[in-house]
Structure 1
Amino acid sequence: MYGDCRTEEIDAPPQACFDALTDFEALPTWQGAVKSVRVLERDATGRARVVEFEVDAKVKRVKYRLRQVYDEPHRIGSEYAGGDFRDMTGEWRFVDLGDGRTRAELDLNIDPGRFVPGPIRSAIADAVMRRSLADLKRHLSR
Structure 2
Amino acid sequence: MWQCPKCGREFKNTNQDHYCGEPPKTIDSYIAAQPEDVRPYLNQVRDTLRDALPDAEERISWSMPTYWRKQNIVHFAAFKKHIGLYPGDKAVEHFLERLTEYKTSKGAVQFPYRMPLPLPLIAEIAKWCYDTGNYH
Structure 1 length normalisation: TM-score? Answer: 0.32
* Greater share of helix: 2
Greater length-normalized contact order (CA 8 Å, ≥ 6 residues apart): 1
Structure 2 length normalisation: TM-score? Answer: 0.33
